Structure 1
Amino acid sequence: MKFTLRQLESFVAVARQESVSRAAESLSLSQSAVSMSLNELEKQFDTRLFDRHGKRLQLNELGRQLLPRVQALLDQGRDVEALLQGEGEGGPLRLGATLTIGNYLAPLLLGEFMGGRPEESRGRVHLEVHNTATVIRQVANFELDFGLIEGVCQHPDLEVSPWIEDELAVFAAPDHSLAGRQDATLEDLLAEPWILREPGSGTRQTLEGALGSRLPRLKVALELEHTEAIKRAVEAGLGIGCISRLALKEAFRRGSLAELPAPGLNLRRQFHFIIHRQKFRTRGIQHFLDLCRRAVDGIQRSDQIVLRRADGSVIDYR
């Protein structure tokens, strides 16, 4: 073969960063080394892989066709390297998760994933937590190996598989005028100020879809990017909220927040796995996906998931 793995690594890094200098930084190489690798690759095959716009480099049509194949080849190379180095589950794992999953499930799943193996055989794991739109973009651009999302994904390059059902709950501070009222109507809820996740989040998508034609009547008083911040704002009496039951279990159990009836609203949704259709599935990726599926075997909803800590003790929030 005329190309080297270093040349391919440089190509992928520049494709992601759209800059030789940023690509060099991500690879811990000099800018001249990355530039030389890329130039040699293009020169050897008498072709161009990028369109140059000043200092910015964008993939051309050939480069876009090449990127997923090169990424798969590098993933397989890292899998081979990890096996030779004794890392039983493969090389680094780059996981993306939306906020509800990333804050309440993914760290525990990763703890179980890493806890069952000797330290010397563990590959490095990297978790990024963002909203649905960001995780979809990063998986589509091969910045992440795969994602766990709570929103809708219709990206043509991504394979979407169902994981477990989730349900949102409407809630308020325990001293709110609607708390404890089983006769509260949807009209009562719509008359209140709401504290919600930002547009682009799966939680926001689910609530807006459930409201349908009544959406324009929703009074959004505050938009926050983190579920814990929403819970604190609702506890402070700034309005009512709507997030996953998974994030509310402890608060409902303690009585620091109160669930409100939401008649006529279908607040159920599905958590999904997303992975690029051309992504090579390393042993580590497949092992973690299998672990996720085992964690939900025989249960119906996300807040029923039972996980174990690294010491083997059960984490059960039911």
Structure 2
Amino acid sequence: MRFTLKQLEYFVAAGETGSIARASERIHVSQPSISTAIAQLEKELNVQLFLRHHAQGLSLTPSGRTLFQEAKRLLEQAGGLYAAASQMHEEVHGNLNLGCLTTLAPMILPELTLSFTSAFPKASVSPLIDHQERLLASLRRAEVDIAVTYDLRLSEDVTFQPLVELPVHALVGENHPLARESRTTLKELAALPLVFLDLPHSRDYFLSLFDMDGLTPNIAYRLTQPDVIRTMVANGFGYTLVNTAPRSNVALDGRTLTRVAIDGSHRPMTLGLATLTALRQTKLLEAFVSHAKSIISQGYIPGMMAP
């Protein structure tokens, strides 16, 4: 096959307008170029496509009418090929650098990542797990594209899309006096030993809860590892404050933990998606945001009991 799509395009333009001159105006190609292309096409196909009428333009021959329809169909198919190629080019693919807060990652990250890559097989996810201060720094250095985190100490250069509110509650071991209670108060907790999550910004949040009620907590231990805190609490070293509610109530050593609600109007943590405001939204990033919004809500949170 030695004819080209350009020749077919010029042939169809001439057939639709009935004139080389009008075809030239429509497709912005010179008249000689159109005439030459049609002549070459006639030679290649060994058929006369047009009858030339002096000063009256062109009319398709019977063979020309048949080939005119076929040429239009071929051009439509070629257009479909370009559209398919364009769609493939815009397909969700590539690697997403995903940040996640230390306290959220064990529960949310596995299911969220697996469901996203299952929905978009040509996408991959590289996780970075850290505390809030470092996550925000990683966003600003473009080391992560997006972070699953809380609304803690966010500035104007970070865009935060809230997904779900998580109320604060106390966590105690199965032999703790509060384990038999369904509810408690910050005033009651303030006198008890606290195994404190001492991470940047998280510490400020928990301390502010006591401060707003004019209380000072009895911090017995300051730790930065959530799993160690859970195990110490399960072994009776004290209570801790958390917003997450894992579906498992068992610490890593197999001992049981109990959640206790806290009375009063205390600011919840808002779990959401943080991105750098100046970062251009790629198709990959847009797809992840949409996917996360479809999975995380007040009714369902991966790895957690829903609020």
TM-score (norm 1): 0.61
Q: In the aligned structure 1, how far is the partner of 2:245 from the partner of 2:90?
A: 33
Q: Do the aligned residues in 1 keep the contact of 2:243 with 2:269 (CA within 8 Å)?
A: no
**In structure 2, do the counterparts of structure 1 residues 107 and 186 end up closer, same or farther at CA, with 3 Å as the change threshold?**
same
Note the C-alpha offset of 1:137: 1.1
**In structure 2, do the counterparts of structure 1 residues 181 and 162 end up closer, same or farther at CA, with 3 Å as the change threshold?**
closer
Q: Deviations over 1:36-90 (max 9, x none)?
A: xxxxxxxxxxxxxxxxxxxxxxxxxxxxxxxxxxxxxxxxxxxxxxx99989423
Note the C-alpha offset of 1:172: 0.9
Q: In the aligned structure 2, how far is the partner of 1:295 from the partner of 1:134?
A: 25
**In structure 2, do the counterparts of structure 1 residues 87 and 115 end up closer, same or farther at CA, with 3 Å as the change threshold?**
farther
Q: Deviations over 1:162-217 (max 9, x none)?
A: 12111222021111122213575433211111112114143x34322322245762
The equivalences for 1:195-206 within 5 A come to 195-202=195-202, 204-206=203-205
Q: Do the aligned residues in 1 keep the contact of 2:245 with 2:304 (CA within 8 Å)?
A: no
**In structure 2, do the counterparts of structure 1 residues 317 and 184 end up closer, same or farther at CA, with 3 Å as the change threshold?**
closer
**In structure 2, do the counterparts of structure 1 residues 100 and 199 end up closer, same or farther at CA, with 3 Å as the change threshold?**
closer
Q: In the aligned structure 1, how far is the partner of 2:151 from the partner of 2:224?
A: 15
Q: Do the aligned residues in 1 keep the contact of 2:190 with 2:215 (CA within 8 Å)?
A: no
The equivalences for 1:1-318 within 5 A come to 88-118=91-121, 121-122=122-123, 124-181=124-181, 184-202=184-202, 204-214=203-213, 217-247=216-246, 249-251=247-249, 256-264=256-264, 266-296=266-296, 299-300=297-298, 304-305=300-301
Aligned position for 1:42: none
Mark the structure with the bigger radius of gyration.
2
Counterpart of 1:288 in 2: which secondary structure?
helix
Q: In the aligned structure 1, how far is the partner of 2:185 from the partner of 2:196?
A: 19
Letter in 1 for 2:181: R
Aligned position for 1:77: none
- Higher mean C-alpha deviation, range 173-182 or range 190-199: 173-182
Residues paired across the two proteins, number: 219
Q: Deviations over 1:253-277 (max 9, x none)?
A: x981122342235152211221112
Identity of aligned residues (%): 17
Q: Do the aligned residues in 2 keep the contact of 1:93 with 1:145 (CA within 8 Å)?
A: yes
Aligned position for 1:71: none
Q: In the aligned structure 1, how far is the partner of 2:273 from the partner of 2:236?
A: 36
Q: Do the aligned residues in 2 keep the contact of 1:170 with 1:262 (CA within 8 Å)?
A: yes
Counterpart of 2:103 in 1: which secondary structure?
helix
Q: In the aligned structure 1, how far is the partner of 2:158 from the partner of 2:143?
A: 13
Letter in 1 for 2:258: A
- Higher mean C-alpha deviation, range 207-216 or range 275-284: 207-216
**In structure 2, do the counterparts of structure 1 residues 115 and 222 end up closer, same or farther at CA, with 3 Å as the change threshold?**
same
Aligned position for 2:29: none
Q: Deviations over 1:132-180 (max 9, x none)?
A: 1111111012121111212423323222221211122202111112221
For structure 1, which runs of at least 5 residues remain unmatched after alignment? 1-82, 308-314
Q: In the aligned structure 2, how far is the partner of 1:152 from the partner of 1:316?
A: 20
For structure 2, which runs of at least 5 residues remain unmatched after alignment? 1-85
Letter in 2 for 1:207: F
Note the C-alpha offset of 1:294: 0.7
Aligned position for 2:9: none
**In structure 2, do the counterparts of structure 1 residues 225 and 215 end up closer, same or farther at CA, with 3 Å as the change threshold?**
farther
- Higher mean C-alpha deviation, range 183-192 or range 235-244: 183-192
Q: Do the aligned residues in 1 keep the contact of 2:199 with 2:224 (CA within 8 Å)?
A: no
**In structure 2, do the counterparts of structure 1 residues 265 and 258 end up closer, same or farther at CA, with 3 Å as the change threshold?**
farther
Q: In the aligned structure 1, how far is the partner of 2:194 from the partner of 2:243?
A: 15
**In structure 2, do the counterparts of structure 1 residues 98 and 245 end up closer, same or farther at CA, with 3 Å as the change threshold?**
closer
